[in-house]
Copies of this chain bind each other. A is one copy, B any other.
């Protein structure tokens, strides 16, 4: 495998020579993946929601799926009576119930606990260090992350921009034994190379992989997305109670909410099929943004 890394590295250096097969779709279709460890990294609870269909499929097909979010999402509300800690707990509950819908157990959910909106002001080295530790611990085969861009850097709002770079910079750091060596000498961890990437929220024209989630995975996605009541329903402005479910909303609000969620899941189509689109990349992290002719 070492030799393979080296070869890819050398390949990467042959800039401008040949069109690289690395940017093609996955050799094995996503729907046939099995036995892999999958890690999705995002900034807030619900950043994973546009990937719920694919994660559901992966989890069912015998892969181990983890979700790591960096902030608690504790400022995302327009409810004048909502407080930070109450919201943090609500969103944790929503996230866990959503993950449960797609078969991911609570112990596979990691939240770094940062305050929402402050991620862009948090020491980058320390967050990268924490991510690297998780990468080395979980040893994912595939990383789902915000697309940092392809060729050019994508414009993302502040915390997604930050989350995007943190996730891929950490992927690069994780593979070098001599970076953050304390994790290796003290915690018994080893360097780890994440070989495959599924980038979400990228620029539309850069997507190269669409996963067919039609059927049960779309339905589970719908159920999962519908757990984020605090974010997408009328509770956004007025959250009464705790651990609200769709059924707790007034009838009209509930219907409006579920319609939107339905549209969000089922209207995302390619060639008439319900899909989730990604930019797939395979190789060393160095080449994540390489656009060659």
By a beta-carbon cutoff of 8 Å, the part of chain A in contact with chain B is 2-3, 5-6, 9-10, 13-17, 49-50, 71-72, 74-78, 80, 82-89, 92, 111-118, 120-126, 128, 148-158, 165, 169, 172-173, 176-187, 201, 203-205, 207, 232, 234, 236-237, 260, 263-264, 267-268, 277, 285-286, 288-293
B154 touches A185 (CB 8 A): no
Docked Cα-Cα span, A179 to B77, in Å, equals 11
List B contacts of A268 (CB < 8 A): 14, 16-17
Q: How far is the CB of A173 from chain B (nearest CB, A)?
A: 6
Contact among B50, B156, B204, B292 for A292, CB-based, below 8 A: B204
Known contacts A121-B124, A185-B88, A288-B157; A176/B75 CB under 8 A: yes
B153 touches A289 (CB 8 A): no
Q: How far is the CB of A129 from chain B (nearest CB, A)?
A: 8
Docked Cα-Cα span, A112 to B113, in Å, equals 18
B237 touches A3 (CB 8 A): yes
The 7 closest A-B pairs by CB, nearest first: A113-B182, A155-B289, A123-B123, A126-B126, A152-B152, A88-B185, A75-B178
A6 touches B78 (CB 8 A): yes
Known contacts A5-B78, A16-B277, A17-B267; A113/B180 CB under 8 A: yes
List B contacts of A290 (CB < 8 A): 155
List B contacts of A113 (CB < 8 A): 180-183, 185-187
List B contacts of A111 (CB < 8 A): 182, 186-187
B179 touches A117 (CB 8 A): yes
A237 touches B2 (CB 8 A): yes
Docked Cα-Cα span, A147 to B181, in Å, equals 29
Docked Cα-Cα span, A120 to B172, in Å, equals 12
Docked Cα-Cα span, A184 to B84, in Å, equals 12
